Structure 1
Amino acid sequence: MRKGSCDPNANSWNYLLGCLLKKGRATEACDLVEAMERSKLDDIPNSLTYEILAYHACKAGKMDSARQILEQMFIEKLTPRITIHTAFIKGYFSTGRTEDACNYVRAMSTRDKHSENRNYSLLAKLFRKSGRIVEAGRVLYELMEKGLRPDHSAYVRVAKDLHKMGKGDLAAELKTLYQRFIVQPVLER
């Protein structure tokens, strides 16, 4: 690109970084990140750069490294994209660190409010998928207690599963909370 008098931009740097990490070329990816930091571009590294790094760390099960990347992102005052939270929640879950996944969701509910209901809903779906229906119900309960609406499909599936396993009391509590989000039509007189 430089030979053709075309300097790389944020998109080209990030694309190359993603390709290197996808191919398992971590050493070259680290060298590239150092080059990005030395570049004279103001928007490098950006939130996508950090997301790429964190995503690949999560995928490799290196959750502590991924967390450091996220903390650096916050230090740089960059707003995480919603997909980075998915990588963390799934990463914690796949490494068997479900309590850390719960703690991550709670921590992000104060640091990154715009993705709160999505994060909780994903956590509930993962608990349900792993057969931990009661935990899924508790996650949805916690979310709705905060006044936030969960993903409808997560709510319905968890409630049905709770009924099937004889936990109708928890399902009824979830239903009561969920009904607050249902808009009732106003009847005209």
Structure 2
Amino acid sequence: MTLAYQLRIELRDFKPAIYRDVLVDPATPLPKFHKLIQAAMGWEDEHMHGFAVPIKSERYYRVQANRRFEKPYADNWGEPSNNESRFKLQDVMAAPKDKLLYLYDFGDDWEHVITLNAVVETDTSLPHLLKAQNGCPPEDCGGPVGAEHWASVWSDKAHADHRVALEMFGEHEPGWLDFEALQKAVTKLQPKSRRVK
């Protein structure tokens, strides 16, 4: 049996909620945890990202630099944050109800709220995707406000930009989710010796 964090990763500002429930090793370095979030959510990992420890319902950009964890970017401005590669998940959250923010794409600002729901013992290979609800919006669509706009355009065949929306979302309707594809992407992150066949 291995100790694991049971986490909910929820994309902020969406109703109905877009979330993933995962099991992950508490000793996972933050750069590897970033890869897990990308795989579980279905993002394409083409943009910058960062982590932050919020106070109450604080938003990412309000969090002081000493509670932010990012890659050291060459053109960093403002106060330098902590180098994420020096920290593990257990360094930034430890007890149930602890929260962590993950911001993906400093422009579209996809802000995720990560909640530690439980610390459990498991014999499941880690990381593991337990549950998923609703697919993420297309990347580069303008953040939550843009996602809402383009989803309504997708539904309106008379709209001048309907064809653009169809291309943006692909062949599936907004919110469509392929759980098996996400599970496969998460399973690829398991150490090869531990993967369940």
TM-score, length-normalised on structure 1?
0.26
* Structure with more relative contact order (C-alpha pairs < 8 Å, separation 6 or more): 2
TM-score, length-normalised on structure 2?
0.26
Relative to its length, the structure with more strand (as a share) is: 2
